[in-house]
Structure 1
Amino acid sequence: MDMYQWYLLPAALMLAMLWLMDMEWIYDVLNSPIANLPGPWYTVLTDAILRYSAVTGTKVIYVDNLHNKYGPIVRIGRKEISLRDPSVTRKVYSVKGEFPKADFYDKILTGTPNVFNTRDIETHRHYRRLLSSGIAESSLSTYLPVIETKARMAIQRMRDEAQTRRAAKSQYIRDLETVNRLGGIRVTFPFLVQLGHYVPIPFIKAAIENRRRTVEYAEQSVSRHYRIVEEQGEDARPTLLSKLYKAGDDGMSFDEVRSNAMAYVIAGSDTTANTLTYIIWTVCKRPEIKSSLLEELQKLPENYEYVDLKPLHYLNLVIEEALRLYPAAPAGLPREIPAGGTDLFGYYIPAGYTVNIGAFSMHRNPSVFPNPENFDPLRWNSPTKAMKESFVPFGGGSRSKFWTIPV
Structure 2
Amino acid sequence: KLNAHHHDNLQPNRGSRLPGFRGHHLHHPGTTARCPSPTHSNQRSQIISTARRSPLKHIPAPWYATFTHHVLKYRTVTGRRMFYIDALHRRHGPVVRISPDEVSVADPDGYIAIHRMGSGFNKSRFYMDFIGRGEPGIFTMTDPKQHAARRKLFARAFTVSSLRENCETLVREKVELAIDRIRSEAIRGSADVHEWWSLMATDVIGQLSFGESFEMLENGKKNNYVQALDAVVSATTLRYELPLLHSFVSRFPTKSTRLLTTTRGEIAAYSRKAVDNMRQSKNDNKSNIFATIMAESEAGEKTELTDNVIRGEAANMLFAGSDTLSSSLTYLVWAVLKRPELQKRLEEEVAGLEDGFNDEALEKLPLLNAMINESLRLYGAVPGTTPRVTPPAGATIGGYHIPGGTIVTTQVYTTHRLPEVFPDPLKFDETRFLPGVPNEKQKRIFSPFGTGSRSCIGVALARMEMRLAVALLFKRCAGIRLADTMTDEMMEMVSYIVMKPAGNRCDVTLSCD
How would you bin the TM-score normalised by the shorter chain? Answer: 0.7 to 0.9
Gap change, CA 1:258 and 1:138, over 3 Å in 2: same
Listed as ranges, the matches of 1:168-183 within 5 Å are: 168=192, 169-170=194-195, 172=198, 181-183=234-236
Q: Does 1:400 align with 2:455?
A: yes
* C-alpha distance in 2 between matches for 1:275 and 1:48: 30
* C-alpha distance in 1 between matches for 2:419 and 2:254: 41
Deviation at 1:262, TM superposition (A): 1.5
Match of 1:150 among 158, 161, 174: 174
Gap change, CA 1:170 and 1:161, over 3 Å in 2: farther
Q: Does 1:121 align with 2:144?
A: yes
* C-alpha distance in 1 between matches for 2:265 and 2:377: 32
Q: Does 1:26 align with 2:81?
A: no
Count of residues in correspondence between the two structures:
389
CA displacement 1:309-362 (0-9 Å, x = unmatched): 121000000010011001121102100111122212222221232111101011
Which residue is 1:43 aligned to?
A: 65
Give secondary structure in 1 for the equivalent of 2:274.
helix
Give secondary structure in 2 for the equivalent of 1:37.
coil
Give secondary structure in 2 for the equivalent of 1:75.
strand
Deviation at 1:79, TM superposition (A): 1.0
Gap change, CA 1:315 and 1:206, over 3 Å in 2: farther
CA displacement 1:352-387 (0-9 Å, x = unmatched): 321111010111112211221211101223112221
Listed as ranges, the matches of 1:47-66 within 5 Å are: 47-66=69-88
Which residue is 1:252 aligned to?
A: 305
Which residue is 1:266 aligned to?
A: 319
- Per the normalisation by structure 2, the TM-score is 0.69
Which residue is 1:371 aligned to?
A: 424
| Identical amino acids, percent of aligned pairs | 31
Deviation at 1:280, TM superposition (A): 1.1
Between structures 1 and 2, the one with greater helix share: 1
Deviation at 1:163, TM superposition (A): 4.7
Listed as ranges, the matches of 1:146-295 within 5 Å are: 146-163=170-187, 166-168=190-192, 169-170=194-195, 172=198, 181-195=234-248, 197-200=250-253, 213=266, 216-229=269-282, 234-246=283-295, 247-248=297-298, 249-295=302-348
Q: Which residue type is aligned with residue 176 of structure 2?
A: R
Contact 2:107 2:398 in 1 (8 A): no
Contact 1:130 1:243 in 2 (8 A): no
CA displacement 1:74-105 (0-9 Å, x = unmatched): 11111111111221123111322501111110
Gap change, CA 1:194 and 1:184, over 3 Å in 2: same
Gap change, CA 1:216 and 1:336, over 3 Å in 2: farther
Contact 2:65 2:100 in 1 (8 A): yes
Contact 1:359 1:392 in 2 (8 A): yes
Q: Does 1:135 align with 2:144?
A: no
Listed as ranges, the matches of 1:238-387 within 5 Å are: 238-246=287-295, 247-248=297-298, 249-381=302-434, 382-387=437-442
Deviation at 1:399, TM superposition (A): 1.8
Give secondary structure in 2 for the equivalent of 1:348.
strand
- Per the normalisation by structure 1, the TM-score is 0.86
Give secondary structure in 2 for the equivalent of 1:35.
coil
Contact 1:75 1:81 in 2 (8 A): yes
CA displacement 1:12-33 (0-9 Å, x = unmatched): xxx9987765554333212122
Gap change, CA 1:205 and 1:83, over 3 Å in 2: farther
